[in-house]
Amino acid sequence: MQEPFDTAPTPLSTPSVRRGGVLAGIYVGVGLLMIALNLRMGVASVGPVLPAIERDLGIPAAAAGLLTTIPVFAFGAFAFLTPTLTRWIGLHRLLALTMVVVAIGIGIRLLPSPVALFGGTVLIGAGIAVANVCMPAVIKQDFAHRVGLMMGLYSTALFLGAAAAAALTVPFMSALDGSWRGALAIWAIPAVLALLVWLPRAMRAVTGSPAVAGAPADAIVEPRDEPRMSALLRDPVAWAVTGFMGLQSLSYYAALTWIPSILQDAGVPVSDAGLLLSYSSLPGIAAALLVPTMLRRIRPTWLPVVLSAFLVAAGLGGLLVAPGGAAPWLWMTLLGLGQGAAIALSLTYIVLRAPDAKHTAHLSTMAQGIGYLLAGLGPIGLGILHAVVGGWVVPVAVLVLLLGVQAVAGAAASRERHVRAGRR
């Protein structure tokens, strides 16, 4: 019989947070959430200033658009480095190092060169990729008794960081005499602040003995009597979580990239299209905060998964059918609610479907590594399909069909069971 979900500490959990009292728990939680805020800022800040980048560097729109798609592929590709890095460095120190990498990547984009711009973007994506994988494992290790709450706050912080970057980058550029480089560089400050707050936690030795001699105590390693990460590739629970993560990310990034174009092609002014996209983050934040904390009380378990897919489909369909007047505000509300719930669910399932921090890290690597590589195809595929058919009905219809597959994968991931814990 499976152990209760989201309640007991795990074999690799760090009891120091619980023994240290409320203040210690709050400090660690604040540090994690400050890091989470930075996991979308460096990417979401680029979109609003893409026209200025195109004009300044004289590059075509397609090349400039890579600045928003490269990070998504980087999220997937660099995620697979995380197990090796944690073996050398440990989870908590590695999380601190990701903020250093993100800040350096943002700083490199200040250099007056297209190579520096794209190179810094790859570096930002690499730092975020590793942090994406580490965060669920650290939450499982330090907050095994508060997984629902912390995953809700974590998902909310992702939305808040993206919304802040999207909303404030253009005003920053205006305040800096039209310097898009300076506006993008400002987002290194939150990364440095997060690093300074997290550094004491990262440098303190983790309680307990390492599973393998010579490794940090919080390293994710496989003792001889435990299955290696490759075992997850044969596990249906792991594939359900991975499929749900990948498909909801594909839907999210495809919508994020093309909804302004869908609205503008329907006659919505450019300024209103941007405002509507930013507004969708508000209901997304609410859903991301509430859904993980309510999971244990919702039956059947697949209900929030199916409902989130339905809300996104209704929002996308509504934008095609009735894009004028006040209706888009309703459609973007539905879209935001569905996306916020789906993102929070996909991240929470990574934690709930693993019995301990080690398996959480492995499952996080698989789900986010493969998932984000799949997600990167969404914006590109939708753009190609739009160019071929010359309209948005067919691309959106394909996206809605994929939402059906997403619901099936999510329903499988919602079942209360663990991946291959302790099985050879």
pLDDT for 191-218, tens place per residue? Answer: 999 999 999 988 875 544 444 444 555 5
Q: For residue 216, what pLDDT is reported?
A: 57
The whole-angstrom separation of Cα 394 and Cα 412 is 28
The whole-angstrom separation of Cα 240 and Cα 301 is 14
Residue of 217, 403, 415, 198 lying closest to 302 (CA atoms): 415
Q: For residue 328, what pLDDT is reported?
A: 92
Cα 278 to the chain's mean position, in Å? 17
Does the residue 292 lie in any domain? Answer: yes
The whole-angstrom separation of Cα 288 and Cα 173 is 30
Q: Please, which residues have CB within 8 angstroms of residue 141's CB and are 6 or more apart in sequence?
A: 10, 12, 13, 14, 91, 218, 357, 360
- Per-residue pLDDT band for 424 (boundaries 50, 70, 90) equals very low
Q: For residue 17, what pLDDT is reported?
A: 54
Q: For residue 213, what pLDDT is reported?
A: 45
> Mean pLDDT throughout 330-357?
92
The whole-angstrom separation of Cα 45 and Cα 5 is 37
Does the residue 349 lie in any domain? Answer: yes
Greater pLDDT, 364 or 10: 364
Residue of 62, 63, 72, 82 lying closest to 42 (CA atoms): 72
Q: How many domains does the chain have?
A: 1
Does the residue 377 lie in any domain? Answer: yes
Q: For residue 197, what pLDDT is reported?
A: 96
Does the residue 420 lie in any domain? Answer: no
- Per-residue pLDDT band for 92 (boundaries 50, 70, 90) equals very high
Q: For residue 415, what are the CA distances in angstroms to 191, 303, 354, 405? A: 36, 11, 12, 16
> Mean pLDDT throughout 239-254?
95
Find out whether 210 and 77 touch, Cβ atoms under 8 Å. no
Percent of the chain with pLDDT over 70: 88
Q: Please, which residues have CB within 8 angstroms of residue 408's CB and are 6 or more apart in sequence?
A: none
Q: For residue 20, what pLDDT is reported?
A: 56
Q: What is the CATH number of the domain that holds 129?
A: 1.20.1250.20
Does the residue 167 lie in any domain? Answer: yes
First to last CA, the chain: 18
Residue 6 in this model has a pLDDT that exceeds 70: no
- Per-residue pLDDT band for 10 (boundaries 50, 70, 90) equals very low
Which residue segment(s) compose the domain that 146 sits in?
16-206+226-413
Residue of 365, 279, 357, 266 lying closest to 319 (CA atoms): 266
The whole-angstrom separation of Cα 254 and Cα 260 is 11
The whole-angstrom separation of Cα 130 and Cα 117 is 21
Does the residue 212 lie in any domain? Answer: no
Q: Please, which residues have CB within 8 angstroms of residue 234's CB and are 6 or more apart in sequence?
A: 420
Best mean pLDDT range from 6-20, 40-54, 385-399: 385-399
Residue 266 CB-density burial (10 A; 0-12 exposed, 13-18 middle, 19+ buried): middle
- Tally helices (H) and strands (E) across the chain: 18, 0
Does the residue 419 lie in any domain? Answer: no
Greater pLDDT, 268 or 62: 268
Residue 222 in this model has a pLDDT that exceeds 70: no
> Mean pLDDT throughout 284-298?
85
Question: Max Cα separation, the chain?
Answer: 65
Does the residue 321 lie in any domain? Answer: yes
Residue of 355, 373, 289 lying closest to 8 (CA atoms): 355
The whole-angstrom separation of Cα 146 and Cα 7 is 7
pLDDT for 225-244, tens place per residue? Answer: 344 667 788 899 999 999 99
The mean predicted confidence, pLDDT, of the chain is: 85
Given the structure tokens 């629902």, which residue do they identify?
A: 148
The whole-angstrom separation of Cα 131 and Cα 125 is 10
Residue 320 in this model has a pLDDT that exceeds 80: yes
